[in-house]
Structure 1
Amino acid sequence: MDLTAARIDEINRELGTLEGHAESRSGLVEAVVGVCHELRSLSIDPRVYRERDVEALAGDITEAMRAACAEVDRKAFAVGRVLLPDGADSATAALAYDPLLHELEKLIGKGPNESRW
């Protein structure tokens, strides 16, 4: 599939708006991250002050962040899939680099088995 510059720009804009949302199993922490795993918001339930368990809170934050990152990665792969070579999968694709490298390979006329990267 040949992609136009306009379609690539559209995909890029869509990727920029994606978010992953997740809540810790305890329900005390909710994290929202962007496509580059940047933290966009973190909500901590005031009930954490009752227990005052700093290690548990840190674990809840880490858990929510990881789950939110996994969610946004799944969404980003679905959106960016058209920019990736055949056979790419969400477990191994590096969406920050693979689409660029794939397009560069096409521009310099390299086949899928002749990758320089």
Structure 2
Amino acid sequence: MDEVERKAIGILRGAFEQSGMTQGELADKVGVARTTILKTFAGSRATYISEFEGIAKALGLSPWRVMRQAEDALEAAPSNVLRFPATSRQENQREADAMIAEQRYAASQLKTGEKDAPQYPDAD
């Protein structure tokens, strides 16, 4: 499955989730087995053009517009954009949490330190 097909199936899956239909109802409208719908939305099988068209129309969508929307979305977010792996996000979150803890500690020391701070006369 290429990126355009994956994105287009994602658009159909989103429309399906918004539709309130069951997979069985959608399968009946398209004329395929429920497992075909399940596997199509899971991305575990290639989709025939006739199935893609049937799913789109059953959801009230234009197959051509779905494909165009998928292509436009991929052009807007090219695959060469740097994406950080989950471990980087986790490391960043740990760093942020540590910085927040340090700031809270420093703020608490300032509050307690104000009571004990020596009083200096004002310099004229």
TM-score tier, shorter chain, comes to under 0.3
* TM-score, with structure 1 as normaliser: 0.25
Q: Which has the higher helix share?
A: 2
Larger Rg belongs to: 2
